[in-house]
Structure 1
């Protein structure tokens, strides 16, 4: 019997309406040091969403089964390292179906990610619950929160998630097992150049976003277990690895979720990136977003026009939240 078939054990609320599911769980998230928390920098957090029925492995196996036809289950190349290109595919490496993947999920090196889980109404309700708890940390400095999404990573050590950046702010929560999350300051241009950040924001390309091993010590390591987490702002480079020292019989799977979102601030910065991209193509060296408020204020409206014109005249599909 596959894990999918046994998922009713942890999914007893599946037929309940969204409001009832939220009332049932009532999870909580908070900053480890509220006085030091800022939505503009890396901060450790704590939560109790690891206890939520939707975050248990049998229920996640059912979710993966449901998402596989829409190509929302992703897999990385076997043998990937933290310095590899973050290349992922909707096809399993060995051609097996998703039920077989979960039947062997504790085998060393197993890795599967569930993308955009908010397309499932039960998980959309779960993300609403997380953000209801997180919103007071964000909205004082980053109002206009929109496009909340969820990305769940399930792996067995030893395994990694390669170095990359995201467009969204991220509440990254460890649910089960242990993992080492390494996060770099989003303002550190030695780690990822301005040109490569712009390339990602405008075109969605991570092809040249790679970790220079000589800069490894620029990152901050978080050795996290269930109930731990990390908040980091948009475009913060990050990567993960799992080690085998915590593994015990019946406890050999790491589960984490990134609850990501945009705000009026991330949209404003994306517009500045759009403008900077054009200025750089003209041979100029524009200041990075955030370096000069008045320059950003001039660039942002131009960036919005540039992005809109690319969509209209070039059939360009703008990345989410990019303008």
Structure 2
């Protein structure tokens, strides 16, 4: 998701994260007391019934986002193990209206990136986060949020990758299999590869192999299902045609992603670790020791400031 950068939606000033006005749509967590932003948690939600999540409204949104290159199209022949490569124009030259007219054709795939740039969807994103209630407090309170909507017709995949934000992933329509690996699984994605992604946006060495598949948590999701998973959790999705019936052949999912004070602290710790490794110091991963992450933050801030002075890009999340 994070390969396309845009201004994130800042937390509304003095907004209370709580279920005060959800309009009947909300995130439900079975055990709120046991919820942690540091681990995977299946959820239920009611946003599959929200008017702004219906196909007609999404087509309208896509028309506006095409103008700013926020619609993304996957390359033909992509598998779950492929490099996550997508373009801002369909490879076959179709316009966005034709894309939606033919959206139920097998293998169709369209993503709407950074939908928070539309004020209506920015408000929806904060409604969703607000409905999660008291589980998002203190260092786990969202500071910025973004939204990514994936629309596809099976057989379709979103390849294996990691993101820099925490993610409330909501299945809106159709069915999809979500595979998520623990964000602490260094067999699946090595520490240096996580650092490369956080600091430079590189996914070059983040690759799925058959040996990694059994390590995943597998969630079969239909409308109203979903999951929360932390920043840098490897994940991928697949939708197979077995559930398709005439007039019901599109799968839609919505990733509501956000940064917190904790994700920012960890990002700076990754930047510090990268600097320490260059002088031969093998540093501990962020999240293993809170006081050490805090101590690394000034060094990480110096590292990212140095990147800016050198004219190198600084990704979001810092």
Counterpart of 1:163 (choices 160, 163, 167) is 160
Q: Note closer, same or farther for the CA distance 1:140–1:295 as it changes in structure 2 (3 Å cut).
A: closer
Instruction: Report Cα offsets for 1:131-151 as digits up to 9, x if no partner.
Output: 1102422215613x2111100
Structure 1 unaligned runs (5+)?
1-21
Aligned to 1:302: 299
Aligned to 1:318: 314
Rounded to whole Å, the distance in 1 between the matches of 2:268 and 2:168 is: 23
Rounded to whole Å, the distance in 1 between the matches of 2:268 and 2:22 is: 40
Task: Specify the SS of the correspondent of 1:245.
Answer: helix
**Once the 2 structures are TM-superposed, how far is the Cα of residue 57 of structure 1 from its aligned partner?**
0.4
Aligned to 2:17: none
Rounded to whole Å, the distance in 2 between the matches of 1:95 and 1:194 is: 40
Rounded to whole Å, the distance in 1 between the matches of 2:45 and 2:138 is: 20
Rounded to whole Å, the distance in 2 between the matches of 1:162 and 1:34 is: 31
Rounded to whole Å, the distance in 1 between the matches of 2:299 and 2:159 is: 34
Aligned to 1:278: 275
Worse-matched range after superposition: 233-242 or 279-288: 279-288
**Once the 2 structures are TM-superposed, how far is the Cα of residue 293 of structure 1 from its aligned partner?**
2.6
Task: Specify the SS of the correspondent of 1:170.
Answer: strand
Q: Is the Cα–Cα contact under 8 Å of residues 33 and 135 in structure 2 kept in the other structure?
A: no
Instruction: Report Cα offsets for 1:266-318 as digits up to 9, x if no partner.
Output: 0000000000111112232111112223322221111012112221x112221
Aligned to 1:61: 59
Instruction: Report Cα offsets for 1:184-237 as digits up to 9, x if no partner.
Output: 000000000001100000001112111121011110000000000000010000
Counterpart of 2:188 (choices 191, 198, 221) is 191
**Once the 2 structures are TM-superposed, how far is the Cα of residue 25 of structure 1 from its aligned partner?**
3.5
Aligned to 1:205: 202
**Once the 2 structures are TM-superposed, how far is the Cα of residue 244 of structure 1 from its aligned partner?**
1.0
1:242-281 superposed matches below 5 A? 242-281=239-278
Rounded to whole Å, the distance in 1 between the matches of 2:200 and 2:128 is: 30
Q: Note closer, same or farther for the CA distance 1:124–1:294 as it changes in structure 2 (3 Å cut).
A: closer
Cα RMSD of the aligned pairs, angstroms, is 1.5
Worse-matched range after superposition: 265-274 or 74-83: 74-83
Aligned to 1:6: none
Q: Is the Cα–Cα contact under 8 Å of residues 39 and 141 in structure 1 kept in the other structure?
A: no
- Would you say how many aligned residue pairs link Structure 1 and Structure 2? 299
Q: Is the Cα–Cα contact under 8 Å of residues 26 and 129 in structure 1 kept in the other structure?
A: no
Rounded to whole Å, the distance in 2 between the matches of 1:26 and 1:71 is: 33
Worse-matched range after superposition: 24-33 or 194-203: 24-33
Tell me if 1:175 matches 2:175.
no
Worse-matched range after superposition: 95-104 or 207-216: 207-216
> What is the TM-score normalised by the length of structure 2?
0.91
Worse-matched range after superposition: 214-223 or 296-305: 296-305
Aligned to 1:117: 115
Counterpart of 1:131 (choices 126, 129, 134) is 129
Counterpart of 1:241 (choices 231, 238, 241) is 238
Instruction: Report Cα offsets for 1:155-206 as digits up to 9, x if no partner.
Output: 0000000000000000000000000000000000000000110000000111
Counterpart of 1:51 (choices 49, 52, 55) is 49
Q: Is the Cα–Cα contact under 8 Å of residues 25 and 52 in structure 1 kept in the other structure?
A: no
Q: Is the Cα–Cα contact under 8 Å of residues 114 and 152 in structure 1 kept in the other structure?
A: yes
Worse-matched range after superposition: 258-267 or 294-303: 294-303
Q: Is the Cα–Cα contact under 8 Å of residues 27 and 44 in structure 2 kept in the other structure?
A: yes
Task: Specify the SS of the correspondent of 2:196.
Answer: helix
